[in-house]
Structure formats: C-alpha cells, structure tokens
Amino acid sequence: MIQKLLLHLRAVGPALIVAAVVLGPGSILTSSKVGAQLGYSGLFFLILSSILMIAMVALSTHLGMVHKNGLCEELAHYLGRGYSVFIGLVLFLVIALYQSSNNVAMIAAVELLFGRNQLNLLVADSHSKILFLLLINGFVTICLYLTTQLYSWIERAMKTLVLVMILAFFVNFFIVVLQPRDYIPAADPVKIDLIPLMAMIGTTFSIAGAFYQAYLVREKGWTFANWRQGITDSVFGISVLSMVTGIILITAVILFHGRQDPVVLNSIEDIASQLEPLFGKGAKVIFSLGIIAGALSSFLVNAVIGGTILSDSLGKGSRVDSNWTKNLTILVLFIGMTIAIISLFGSKEALPVILLAQALTVLGLPALGFALIYLGTRPELTGDRKVPQKILITCFIGFLVACLVALRTALIIYEKITV
C-alpha cells in the first residue's frame, strides 16, 4: 500500500500542492471540533465538501490546459482589466491576512513539539517570537530568490510534507483506536456550534485553492494531451486531503464526542494536551509532527498563491519564477508576519483585521467561483476543449454552497459588529 502511494505521489503534483495548502492548522482544529460536536455525522459534510472541491479543481485543471494565459489574464481579455484586478486584489488580500495565522501556527507547532520550557530562549516571550518569525520569513524569502526551478522545488517539498502528515495522523489514529474509551457518553445532547462546521466546509471546499490549480498545471507544463492525468491528479490530490481530514475528525469523535464534561478545543495545544494523558509523549510528538507539516505546507505555498495571481491580474505574467511574482509573494509574507506580530502583543487592533479578512472571504469566494464557471462555459470551448457537463453542474452547485457560506459568514460579521 505504501509503495503504491509513493508511486502516485511521484505521478501527481498540482492538486497535491493545493491539498497541502488547504490542510493547514485551521483545518486540523476545525475538523477536530466538528468531530467532537457532531460525531460521525460530520463525515457527511466532509464528503460533500470534498466532492465539490474535486469538481472545482477538475474545472480549474481543464481551464489551465486549454487556455494559453493565466485565468486572470483570460478574465481581463473577456471582462476587462478592472475585473481581473478586482479578483487578484481580493485573493491577494485574503491570503495576506490569513497568512498571519500560518505565522502564529508555526510558533504554536514548535512549542507543541519541544515544549515551552525547552524553548525559553526561542519563543518564550514576544520579542523572541518576533525574532523567530523574522528568521522563518527571511528563510522563505531567501529560498524564493535563490532557488532555481521554484515549482519543482515546491512540488518536492509538498510531497514530503504531505507524506509526513499522512503518517503522523494515521499513527495517531491507530493509537486512539487501540485505546478503549474511558468515559460514558452523555445522555443529553450537547449544544452545537455551527461555526466550526462552516469553517470546515470552507477550508475543505477552498475555491481560492482550486482557482490556483490552473496556474500549477501551467507550471507543470501539462497540455490538453494530459487531460486524463490532470483529472486523476485532481481526484487523488483532494482525496488525500479529505482522507487526512476524515482521520482527524474520526479521531476526535472517538476521543471527545458525547462526553458528559464537554471538552473545549480552542487551540491545537488543547487537542494535543488531551492526547498526552492517554497515550504519553510519544503520541503527542507524532501529532506535533503532523501539525508542523501542515503549518509548513500552508506557509510555503499560501504566499506564492497571492503573489502569482495578483501578478497575473495586473498583466505582469503568472510564472512562479518571475520577479513580479516573487516580489508580490514577499509582500504577502511581510503583511502576514506584521499582522501576526501585532497579535503577539495582544493589540485590540487585531480584531478589526480578522473581521476584514472574513469580509473579504465573503466577497471573494463567490466571485472566484463565478470566474471559474464563466471561463468554463465560454462558447469558444468546443469539441474536446469543452468542459464536461457533469463537472460544470457540480461546480454550479458548489458555487451556490459558496454563496450560502458567504451569506452565513456575513451574518456572523454583522452580529459581531452590532454587539
């Protein structure tokens, strides 16, 4: 089984990179909370989100093969440069703002693996954490400018990190399964918080990640002759994401669902601390490695997505190795790091930033979904170049789901503002 998995990993690339970006610390936390609250019924929403994501990634793969230019450049051709820049800016700002969570997750992941006491000189206080973030972002910046054939380097790194995540969470899952449940489930139903469920759907069905798939296909050098391989890549890559997310969700069901004293999971540390009394430090280390792999995979590529798509929307090209893409990627890294540093000092200014990020997501996801479907239904796509109808219908359903999630998020933001 492992040998077959390795063969698949060698054959695929773009969709696996998208999966590695989507499956970050936020996905791990939200799927754990959904499992703790909803139990196995949460798998239904995970499967539905995964099907919609596969369809959207397949559509983006198809568009990346049949179009000569990047998606934003194609939008500029059909709808004008203004709409193209709008799409690029929305996605850039959303990714830049959420890059801050990747910075914070890097600190949490290192603390989780080594322990706070052992890292007094590294991440014990705010000033040391700032130095740590400067080192991490500086290292990524150096890699961007000094690494040749950047796409190949990213692809190899993501395959390694995804494999680490798979092994870590599978080992952790089997440890949990072998440990009998040590509590009697509560008879009374627990009050359900829908926010984690909405977040899990949003992170699994990431239209922003799907949008970037077309650019990865172009970097891979695939043409329409690689259509079948591209669809296989889409299905396999997102299935890996869903499998790991499902394993995390089921682990949380076994450990936390139905407790008479409900477990509050507000952070990655909360999840890991719940594992340590049952399984010792060994399981915590394994879980920590999975968290670090997830944080690194999301950290490395998330910024590149923002830089690539904004560069393309401005008409400056969409190649990962171009100076425009690299410079805008550095800007993403800087904005994300700055927001994270503000949050480290407990500044109240962080709350408006988070609300702004949510508002931009509300604005961005339906717009990105519309853009993909618009390009996929162009009359110029005829014959073999035409997108299969099943993919378009599924993507349209996904677009409606994105609108509903956006509406729900808008209501949450409104409630926070008016309270």
Q: What does the angle CA 193 – CA 194 – CA 199 come to, to the nearest 5 degrees?
A: 120
3-state secondary structure of 175: helix
* Cβ atoms 205, 56 nearer than 8 A: yes
Give burial (CB, 10 Å; 0-12/13-18/19+) of 101.
buried
The count of other CB atoms within 10 Å of the CB of residue 386 is 16
Boundaries of domain holding 218: 2-418
pLDDT per position as a tens digit, 18-60: 666 666 666 777 788 888 888 888 899 999 988 998 999 889 9
pLDDT at residue 373 above 90? yes
Domain count, the chain: 1
CATH number at residue 299: 1.20.1740.10
DSSP string, 16-66: HHHHHHHSSHHHHHHHHHHHHHHGGGHHHHHHHHHHHHHHHHHHHHHHHHH
Per-residue model confidence as pLDDT tens digits over 101-149: 778 777 777 776 666 554 444 445 667 778 888 888 888 888 777 766 6
- Angle, helix 350-376 to helix 389-418, in steps of 10 degrees: 160
Average pLDDT, the chain: 75
Which tokens sit at 224?
Answer: 């329409």
- Reported residue count of the chain is 419
What pLDDT is stored for residue 206 in this prediction?
81
**155 has a pLDDT exceeding 50:** yes
From CA 173, how far away is CA 175, in angstroms rounded?
5
CA 264 to CA 267: how far, in whole Å? 9
Would you state the pLDDT for residue 413? 67
**What pLDDT is attached to residue 375?**
92
Contact by Cβ (8 Å): 312, 71? yes
Task: Please give the residue that has the higher pLDDT: either 161 or 407.
Answer: 407
Residue whose pair of structure tokens reads 């009998």 in the numeric block: 180
**What pLDDT score does 320 carry?**
76
Dist. CA 249–CA 131, nearest whole Å: 34
pLDDT grade for 245, boundaries at 50, 70 and 90: confident
| pLDDT greater than 70 at residue 183 | no
Does the pLDDT of residue 76 top 70, yes or no? yes
Name the token pair of 316.
């400056």
The DSSP code for 345 is: T
Residue 395's pLDDT is: 93
